[in-house]
Amino acid sequence: MSKFRTILGDCFEEVAKLPDNSIDAVCTDPPYGIVEFSESEVAKLRSGKGGIWRLPPKFDGKERRPLPRFSILSNEQKSDIEKFFARLASAIEPKLKPGGHMLIAGNPVLQANVQAGVVASGWENRATILRLYHGFRGGDRPKNAELEFPEVCVTPRGNYEPWMLFRKPISEKTVAANLRRWGTGGLRMLFGGRPLPDVVPSFKTPAREKEIADHPSLKPQHLLRILVRTLLPTGSGVVLDPFMGSGSTLAACLAVGYESIGIERDSEYFAVAESSIPKLASLYPQFVGDTLESDDLNGSATELHAQLRLLETPAKYSRR
């Protein structure tokens, strides 16, 4: 029977306490901007005033969720990102079994910095899995000059989210030998023996999941169940999330049938995770991440198809 363990504390301190070679995989959505989840910036986010978090205006009758403005980070802060992920990778390396994979949610602006830090620590850069969805990031107009330059934007509209896949080098001569000894080194295929593609159609996190676990970076269970399932090639093991947030990754592991460990330093998010993990895991009981689509997602499946149509259909614009 699958189980999960939650730990309140600093990820570096708590990871150091884990036994060596005790973790089979890592799946996490970290504070890859570093500063956006510092105590001061989280306080500004919760108060709705100031800081790196951009509070989008209401439009189309809807209020958009806050987004971190990574484009305003200085070169020094971006260098700190590389150092942070080098430190993180070095801390996790002895705890992960040889051949174990680490999957890190990223941002197109900072992807190269994250990869540079992890690879510098001796990890293999294996792939980038793109979460394909119709998002609201990017496409911003020149600040305070929107009317002056009505046909200008400063960034493309984001329609993907990179999840960077790394592997700790295998200890044996072949992947097969590594699988026999450690149960790691490869990835689990989808139902029917189909490899997971490096582009996964997705959608924004459903309202029912946000109601259970209120977190600004909450990812949908549809995506997370697919991702965590693929990380354990033999179908068993322990997945670590060192930045647990409100527990969505651990919930996905629970739904798939994997054991998991989550670490979170923010006491408010930790409290949310304690109650949200079993509730999120109980949603869509027939969907265990072995396919890319499922009728069990109900309204979310309809939303997935709608998102795909938006991405596949060229936008129509009128010319003046």
Q: What is the DSSP string of 13-69?
A: HHHHHSPTT-EEEEEE---TTSGGGSHHHHHHHHHT-SSSEE-PPPBTTB-PPPEE-
CA distance 162 to 106: 5
Tokens of 77: 């802060």
Tokens of 28: 């996490």
Nearest one of 60, 155, 190, 169 to 122, comparing CA atoms: 169
pLDDT at 108: 87
pLDDT at 254: 98
CA distance 90 to 118: 8
Per DSSP, 93 falls in state G
The domain segmentation of the chain, as residue ranges, is 4-34+71-312
pLDDT at 223: 97
pLDDT at 185: 98
CA distance 56 to 216: 13
pTM higher than 0.85 for the full model? no
Nearest one of 228, 226, 231, 230 to 168, comparing CA atoms: 231
Question: What angle, rounded to 10 degrees, do the helices at 248-256 and 267-282 form?
Answer: 30
Nearest one of 55, 60, 289 to 190, comparing CA atoms: 289
User: If one looks up domain 4-34+71-312 in CATH, what number appears?
Assistant: 3.40.50.150
Q: Among the residues of 183-298, which ranges form H helices? A: 207-212, 221-231, 248-256, 267-282
The helix/strand/coil state of 110 is: coil
pLDDT at 140: 74
Contacts for 13 with CB less than 8 Å, ≥ 6 apart: none
Burial status of residue 143 (CB atoms within 10 A of its CB: 0-12, 13-18, 19 or more): exposed
pLDDT at 294: 73
- Averages of pLDDT over each 10 residues, the chain, 320 residues: 89 97 97 57 58 46 48 74 94 98 92 95 97 75 84 85 97 98 98 95 92 91 98 98 96 98 95 96 95 74 58 48
pLDDT at 315: 47
Q: Are 61 and 134 in contact (CB under 8 A)?
A: no
pLDDT at 101: 98
